[in-house]
Structure formats: structure tokens, C-alpha cells
Amino acid sequence: MSVEEATNETSPAASKAAPLGSSVIPIVNKLQDIFAQLGSQSSIELPQVAVVGSQSSGKSSVLEALVGRDFLPRGNDICTRRPLVLQLLQTKSKASGGSDDEWGEFLHLPNNRIYDFAEIRREIEAETNRLVGAVADTGVSDKQIRLKIFSPNVLDITLVDLPGITKVPVGDQPTDIEARIRTMILSYIKQPSCLILAVTPANSDLANSDALQIAGNADPDGHRTIGVITKLDIMDRGTDARNLLLGKVVPLRLGYVGVVNRCQEDILLNRSVKEALSAEEKFFRSRPAYHGLTDRLGIPQLAKKLNQILVQHIKVLLPDLKSRISNALVATAKEHQSYGEITESTAGQGALLLNFLSKYCEAYSSLLEGKSEEMSTSELSGGARIHYIFQSIFVKSLEEVDPCEDLTDDDIRTAIQNATGPRSALFVPDVPFEVLVRRQISRLLDPSLQCARFIFDELVKISHKCMMNELQRFPVLRKRMDEVIGDFLREGLEPSEAMIGDIIDMEMDYINTSHPNFIGGTKAVEAAMHNVKSSRVPHPVARPKDPVEPERTSSSSSASQVKSRSFLGRQANGIVPDQGVVSADAEKAAPPANANDSRWGIPSIFRGGENQNRAVTKENFLNKPLNEAVEDMSQNLSMIYLKEPPAVLRPSETHSEQEDIEIQITKLLLKSYYDIVRKNIEDSVPKAIMHFLVNHTKRELHNVFIKKLYRENLFEEMLQEPDEIAVKRKRTRETLHILQQAYRTLDELPMEAESVCSGGTDTTGVSKHLDLPASSSMYSTSSSPYSASPSTGRRNRRAGDEHQNGYGF
């Protein structure tokens, strides 16, 4: 049977795939051409078939056999040094009203049909040398060469011919040539959208195949790998590849196809690909070992299988592909819109500037009010941060302050004594309380001003977050706007700080002890006396009885009554006197005497004798002459000297019970009134900041922008763009145009092609393989249209008997 007959025999199968392939694969090819304009910038991975294998494994021969023409560079060194994206497009034959012409087109040579395939080979070599040099052993490049082959003798397939895997650098090749090639291959085959055509020569150990090994790394489950076994005609005599093709050595889900390549002698003798296909047919017919493997042998079956699997693979990926293109289109359109358009006229520039200023003010207000479309879900932002500063920082910090933490009891006692002046006070004076409470109120000024400064900083941050992307194209305008809003915020900060100072001054100027929440004097006295008495435990001391004990007892009881009626009575030394009582020392030193000689009801001999002596001395002094009297006086009396007061006077270290009560009263009054003022400050300061700073800025910002920036002589300066913005605008415009083309191209798909995995049957089984669980292995022997089960073999043999398919064994 001739090659033409074999092709005609396969045409029914091809015709079954042709409607599907003609509707899907050309669309994907068109998408590939569209996205090729983006180069490495494209993030859309399209379905394709990558051909991998070791050097001299027969990859190029397989590709030429699929095309039916010689067009690839050949040699002993690395022939494929750049990825070749080969798109095979089936045209109508002459019998179908078309033409039998075959030609190629390079993407870098648009609208240039090349009918001479030898010229196509030379162009591939020239384009390769242009990038990586004319010497074949200098290295490889990952920049693609894109070639379309139009022929009525091919099926729609997209293939990527990758450099062959090499082990040892040759000549001037870099030492890492193997790593470079493996990295390049993996960059293609690791994508889930890429099918892998793993080419392995039959005269090598399949278990050690470089192609299968690297395919297993990228596709461990084997969902996307198709095996091709070449050079079946040069296996050792007595051996065959039947077990390899049946998947008994290394199973593959999508199976294997065996082919026979042209040998080097055929190439040197310029034997055509058609002649090689005829020789391949004769070889398989003459080998009984390959009978019953019709669907696994020959280039026609490989083309048919690749076409069917690629079509099903594309259909499975179409929904996700459309979604990714749509998302990329929206994102690119948004980015392009942010760059805007260039306007040259003054009116256009004015309108553009006014639009920017208005949008900026709207964005500023939205961030403050929590209505921004770009609201963060990971952290507080905008007005929420202002609320946090007010409630969680300012208010909480004030509530943690103890108004008496920096006041000791001695400080309070000193203030009380200083307030009495040169007199002793009968009651606790008001002045110490007012002085101390004003001092504590003044401490609230600094945190209040800090709160205003914090809010100012937050407003500056909010202003920087507004329209960041939009204003990137106008750095001068951004700078001017930042300066204007910075000055405006500082202007709003000044009245805020002044108002805060006035609030503190008002609280200090009038101490309102009539406030309903103020504890008051009566409650403070009761609480203070209770605290002092509960903290002091009485310790009775036994004293010897003396004749005046009853008097002392009565005197003590009367003194207690005086204290209970008025605990505020004081003497100059701060001790309340016991009326009608003489000290114990005087009581011990003075022996009893007559009542007539006693003073204050207490007998005193010494005091009575002293008075008599003083009377005699006075009488003698008056009766003597003046000179004699003075001289006599100086001899009888000694001079009394006083101690000089120290430079710093402090009260005594010991406190009386009365003083403890006075200190407690002062503390209670101080804390009570401080809490009243603190609550007023916690309420008034945020209100002042919101009125003078936050809301004032929000209300007047647009007017300030118009007044400061909307000037015709500033339009050109402020709307000047940097060069990189123009480059980005051009790039995004091109990307947007390409994505729009791709989206429209997807709309060209017919309805039957858009219905993915619904309706028609999957003749290849690739769709169910793509849906297998991740735990499955590429070495699984589960049933497949290409698996080697006995029933499949019997079915194939029966099909071969009933109707010759392929080579008709």
C-alpha cells in the first residue's frame, strides 16, 4: 500500500477530528501569534505540544515526517539552538476546491510566503545565527522562532521543537549547557497547558530515557505525556519494541507511538519524506511482531493521535483560558486608564487638572469616612485610625494617670502649712487644694497637644495614599499638592492647639467645687477620718498614777470632745493643745505647793519663788541710781541667744493624726475633681481636633486647591510627565490591544467547541485523565484508549480485520 493510500485510509479518522480541530486548533494558533507579540511579558499560557528528547534522538525527523517536507537544520552538533514553534495548518486540497500548494510563513517575516522549504531551513539557520551566533557549539537561546506550515497533507497541530538534551559540553559550548537546556525545557513542559511529546530512540534503554525522565519531573502523574519511540529499524536483530509500545516497560497513560526515521544515508541521498513514509509502511508490514498494533505505529497515526489529544486538551483548558484572558484584560484596561491620555490644549489641561483635584478631594473624604473602594481588610486605615487614637491612645492614657502619683504626703502637708501664712489655721485651707489641682490639670495639656499632633500625622498619611497610581504620571503636580495640603493641615493644627490650650486654661481658671459629681467637704472628711482610724491601731501604755490623775482624765476627755467638734483647730506648731493640762515633765519637776501660789490650777514652788525674787530685784533696781542699776543688772543677768533659721525649712518627719486626716481630705478632693476635669478633657479635645483640623480640612480642601493650584500659568509645569510614564502608557496600550484581539478571537469559537466536556464523547480519553486525582502515578496501568489490555488488542485486531486502518495489518 502506498503512502497516499495510507493517508487516504487515515483520512476518515482525520475527517472526524478535522471539524473539531479546524475549529479549535486554529483559534489557539491565532492566540499564540497574538500573544507572541508580548514575548516574555505574556502571562497567558496557551495549549501546545512540546517535543523533548536527547540529542540525535530523532526529534527533527519526527517533525519533518509530520509535515512531509525537509525544512529543519541538520548536523552532528546541536541543530535546534532556539525553540521552534511549529504550527501545522491544514488547507483545502485541490480536490476539495482548494490548492495543493504548501508554504511556510515566519512571524518575523509577516505576509511573506515561502514555498521553497530549503529556503525555510536557511531562514531558520539565519534567524538562529542572528541571536546565538553562526558557530553551532556556542550555546542556546530561549527566544522563539515561530513558523507556520500551510498544507493540505497535515492535521492541525501546534508543536514546539526544543533543543536536545546533551550531557557533555563540546567545543566552545558553555560548561553549564546541560543545565541551560534542561531549564529551558522545564520552562515549557511544567505548564499544565503543555502536552509533552517524549522522543526516545528504540536502540537505547527506555528506563534511562532522558525524555521520559524530564517529562516525569514536570508531569509526575503522566496526564500530559505521550511517548514516541524512534529508530525501530535499527534495533538489534531478534529484538523488537512490542513491549515498549504496549507500555509494559514504562507505562504511560497516553501510550506510545512507534516510528521509523530516515537514516543519515537517506538524508545524504536526498530521499524524500514521502519515500521514507513508504519505507516505514513496508517495515511494519514485514515485521510480524508489530501486527495488531495498528493504532500505535507510523507517522499518520502519530499525527492523528496528537491532533485528537491536543483538541481535547484545548477544550478542557478553554474555560480557564477565557477567564484568565478576561481578568488580564480588565487589569490592563484599569492600568491603562490610570495613565490617562495626553492633552496639549490649555482648556484640556485645565479640565484635566480640575478633574484630578476633585477626585483627590473625594478620595480624601472617602478615606476619612470609611467609604473608600480600596478599603483594607488587613489593618486599620483612614478614619478608623483617628478613632483609635482618640479612644485607645488618648482616653486610655489619661485614665491610667493617678493625679497623686507625683505628690507625697509631705508635699501636701507642706502646701497646707504654707497656705496658712504667719497664722495658724482653724480649718484646712482651700488654697492648697486649688494649687495642687491646677498643677494636675496643667499636666493634661501635653497629652492633648500630642493627640492633635498624632491626628495631624494621620491626615498627612491619608493625603499620601490618595490617588497614588493616578498621580504617578504627574510628579510635579503630586509634589505641589502635597505641599498645599501640608501647609493647609498645619494651618488647621494651630487653632486646634490654641483651642486645646484654652480648654485647659478654662479648667484651671475656675475650680467648680459645686459640680454635682464633686465629692464635697463633708463626704471627704468622713472618708478621711475612716481611712486614718482604720489604718492606725492603738497601743495602750501603762503610766504610774499620781495625785493629779483624775484631773488629767477629765482634761483629756474634754480635749477629745474639742477634737470631735472641730478637728481643724491648730496651733503654730501644728499640734492641737490640751487645754488646762501641763506637760508631764513639768508635773514631775514641780513639787506640790499651796493653791494660792499655783498658776493655771497647777501648784508650782519654783514659779512662786521665782516671782518673789523678781519682785525684790525690781524694787532694788528702782531704788538705785541709773548707772549703778545698769551695772548691777549686767552683772546679775546673762544674754539670751536665738538659733538662726535654716535656709530650707521642712515640716517635721512625724505626722499627727490630725495631719494625716488633712492629707487624706486633700487627696480625696484632688482625685474627685481631677476625674471631673479629665472626663471634660477626654470629651472636649477630640471635638476641638475634629472641628478645627479634620472636618475643616475636609470641607475646605477643594477650595484651597483651586485657589493655590488652578492657575493657567502652572498648567504645563504641573502636568508634565516623566519619560517612563509615556513608555508604560505605550506598553499597556499595546498589551490592551493584544488582549482585546485575543478576547475577540475566543468569541469566534463555534458553539460546539465552547461546550467543554458536554455533549460529544471524548475519543482520546484525555479529559478523564486530566480529572484524575493527584495521588495517581504516571506509571499507573489503569485502562486507557491507548493502554495495552488483551481486550483492546482483540478489539484492534477485529477492527483491522473488518476495516483496514493506517497500514491495514
Count of CB atoms within 10 A of residue 144's CB?
Answer: 17
Same topology, domains 50-92+101-327 and 350-532+656-720? Answer is no
Alpha helix ranges (H) inside 100-209 = 117-132, 177-189
Using DSSP's 3-state secondary structure scheme, residue 602 falls into strand
Residue closest to 453 by CA, chosen among 410, 416, 492, 421? 492
CB 52 within 8 A of CB 199: yes
Mean pLDDT of 735-745: 85
CA 150 vs. chain centroid, Å, equals 50
What is the reported pLDDT for 157? 81
Among 303-307, 556-560, 636-640, 704-708, the range scoring the smallest mean pLDDT is: 556-560
What are the residue boundaries of the structural domains of the chain, listed by start?
50-92+101-327, 350-532+656-720, 725-749
Distance CA 14, CA 18 (A): 6
Across 84-180, where does the E strand assignment appear? 84-90, 103-106, 145-151, 157-161
Does the pLDDT of residue 724 top 60, yes or no? yes
Instruction: Characterise 395 by phi-psi region: left (phi > 0), alpha (psi -120 to 50), beta (else).
Output: alpha
Among 21-30, 55-64, 558-567, 619-628, the range scoring the smallest mean pLDDT is: 558-567
CB 184 within 8 A of CB 40: no
> The cell 506648731 sits on which residue?
573
Using DSSP's 3-state secondary structure scheme, residue 1 falls into coil
What is the reported pLDDT for 802? 38
Q: 268 pLDDT band (50/70/90 cuts)?
A: confident
629 or 439, greater pLDDT: 439
Name which CATH class applies to 350-532+656-720: mainly alpha
Measured N-to-C along each axis, helices 605-623 and 626-636 cross at an angle, to the nearest 10 degrees, of 150
CB 232 within 8 A of CB 258: yes
Total-model pTM: 0.51
Does the pLDDT of residue 571 top 50, yes or no? no
Q: Give CA separation, 77 vs 54, 73, 140, 241, 268, in Å.
A: 12, 11, 12, 28, 16
Cell numbers standing for residue 60: 527533527
Q: pLDDT tens for residues 7-62?
A: 343 333 333 334 444 567 777 777 877 777 776 566 677 788 899 998 888 888 88
Q: Give CA separation, 421 vs 414, 432, 664, in Å.
A: 11, 12, 21
What is the reported pLDDT for 31? 80
Q: 426 pLDDT band (50/70/90 cuts)?
A: low
Q: Does the domain formed by 50-92+101-327 have CATH 3.40.50.300?
A: yes
What is the reported pLDDT for 680? 92
What is the reported pLDDT for 437? 81
Mean pLDDT of 272-301: 87
Does the pLDDT of residue 246 top 50, yes or no? yes
Pairing of strands 48-53, 157-161: parallel
What is the reported pLDDT for 586? 40
